[in-house]
Structures are given as structure tokens and as C-alpha cells.
């Protein structure tokens, strides 16, 4: 068995959907015998997490599963292994750096 990381994508729809589009990307750790099996498991895990509920304003909130946007094998599970990367291209580097530093203060 091998370890994989899948990025599952959900669309969040509130009420009639007339709002800024919202998507959540969830990184899911999967143990599978092959890349194809990991992909199938990612879909099954995503479908299990679909849900709808009424929020505090009385509006229906739906988490609609889209699909995995990626599935990658993890070569080694060891301290310091990079599991995923994402490149940001913000309009202002200073604002992005300030945001990262502010988030760091919350964590520690």
C-alpha cells in the first residue's frame, strides 16, 4: 500500500447562490494500492462529506462535492516531507507577507 494526498474541491452555496462564489479545497491523506484506487477513494471520501444545513440566518447552506483536482503519491512519510505546494501571485507582495506574519501570530 502507498500513501497519496488528494485535493478534494467543494462548492459552498448559501441560499439562492447569489453571492461571491466560494470553494473549499480539502487535502486528504489516502492509503491505496494504486493511483487509480487513490482517485476512487478520494471521490468516495468527498461524496461522504457533502452536506446541507440551515445556518443561523435561516438560509440553506450546501457543501457540494465537485471532484478531486489532484491526487499525488507521497514518496516518503518522514519529518520534513513536503506534502503539497501552492504558488500565490498576489497584487501586492507586502500585503501577502503581512498576512502570513499575522496568521503566524495567531498560531503561536
For the segment 58-91, what is each residue's pLDDT rounded down to a tens digit? 999 999 999 999 999 998 888 988 887 788 888 9
Residue with cell 457533502: 50
Concatenated DSSP letters of 19-34: S--EEEEEEEEEEESS
pLDDT for 51: 96
* 45-62 residue pLDDT tens: 999 999 999 999 999 999
> What is the DSSP-derived secondary structure letter of residue 97?
H
Residue 52 to residue 60: CA distance in whole angstroms: 7
Residue 7 to residue 90: CA distance in whole angstroms: 22
Over range 6-15, report the average pLDDT: 94
Number of residues that this document lists for the chain = 108
- Are residues 21 and 45 in contact, defined by beta-carbon separation less than 8 angstroms? no
State pTM to two decimals: 0.77
Amino acid at each position: 500500500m502507498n500513501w497519496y494526498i488528494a485535493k478534494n474541491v467543494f462548492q459552498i452555496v448559501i441560499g439562492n447562490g447569489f453571492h461571491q462564489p466560494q470553494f473549499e479545497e480539502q487535502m486528504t491523506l489516502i492509503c491505496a494500492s494504486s493511483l487509480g484506487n487513490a482517485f476512487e477513494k478520494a471521490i468516495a471520501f468527498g461524496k461522504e462529506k457533502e452536506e446541507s444545513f440551515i445556518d443561523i440566518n435561516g438560509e440553506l447552506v450546501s457543501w457540494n462535492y465537485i471532484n478531486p483536482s489532484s491526487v499525488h503519491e507521497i514518496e516518503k512519510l518522514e519529518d520534513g516531507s513536503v506534502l503539497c505546494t501552492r504558488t500565490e501571485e498576489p497584487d501586492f507582495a507586502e500585503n501577502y507577507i503581512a498576512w502570513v506574519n499575522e496568521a503566524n501570530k495567531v498560531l503561536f
